[in-house]
Amino acid sequence: MPSPEDRVLLGEIVGVHGVQGQVRVRTHTGDPLDVTAYGPLTAEPGGRKLVLKDLREAKGGVVIAKVPGVADRNAAEALKGLRLYVPRSALPAPEEEEFYHADLEGLRAELAEGGLLGRVRRVVNFGGGDMLEIDREGGGSVLVPFTRAIVPLVDVLGGRVVVDPPEGLLADKPEPGEELPEGGAS
């Protein structure tokens, strides 16, 4: 099995569909149906090979798939939470100014005005666009929208991203009764 640095996450089983053992897979590929296009998937935890068949696209970057040998809802439920990887060598090299999310994990997150914010833990997407989860230097973490306006520089070779947060983005949550920054909501 490839080491964590030599593999790339292509999807996660996030739920079940129906009663005949189909699973819902959130994909991390440009075309959701390409989750199986790069060869066999390795499921973690466990490290077993997992085959997805009869894929069809659903809303929000999710595909519905059948897993051979999984015939009912209970068996499909047991797969929920599995993360699906391929060896990095199975993927094409990224184009100029492109990168894989896995390339961002562990990069220094530097502030545009200077100073170290922390390190990128991972890229997440809760349906509203990609966000960088950054472990802060002083402890805790922060989610930063992964847009060119807020993350104007991604320097994979240099081992860093530059974050230019709008005012209030990195502020800690206010205490009860304390005023929110302008534009904030409760």
Please indicate, yes or no, if residue 141 is contained in any of the structural domains. yes
Please indicate, yes or no, if residue 173 is contained in any of the structural domains. no
Provide the number of structural domains found in the chain: 2
Please indicate, yes or no, if residue 170 is contained in any of the structural domains. no
6: left (phi over 0), alpha (psi -120 to 50) or beta: alpha
Domain span at residue 60?
4-89
Q: What is the pLDDT of residues 9-30, one digit of tens each?
A: 889 999 999 899 999 999 888 8
Please indicate, yes or no, if residue 185 is contained in any of the structural domains. no
Please indicate, yes or no, if residue 126 is contained in any of the structural domains. yes
Q: What is the pLDDT of residues 46-87, one digit of tens each?
A: 888 999 999 999 987 799 999 999 999 999 999 999 999 999
Beta bridge partners of 131: 124, 145
**Would you call the peptide bond into 92 cis, given omega within 30 degrees of 0 as the criterion?**
no
Q: What CA dihedral angle connects 163, 168, 171 and 177, to 10 degrees?
A: -170
- The whole model's pTM is what? 0.69
Q: Which pLDDT score, from 0 to 100, does residue 2 have?
A: 46
Q: Same domain for 76 and 119?
A: no
Coil, helix or strand at residue 102: helix
Q: Same domain for 11 and 69?
A: yes
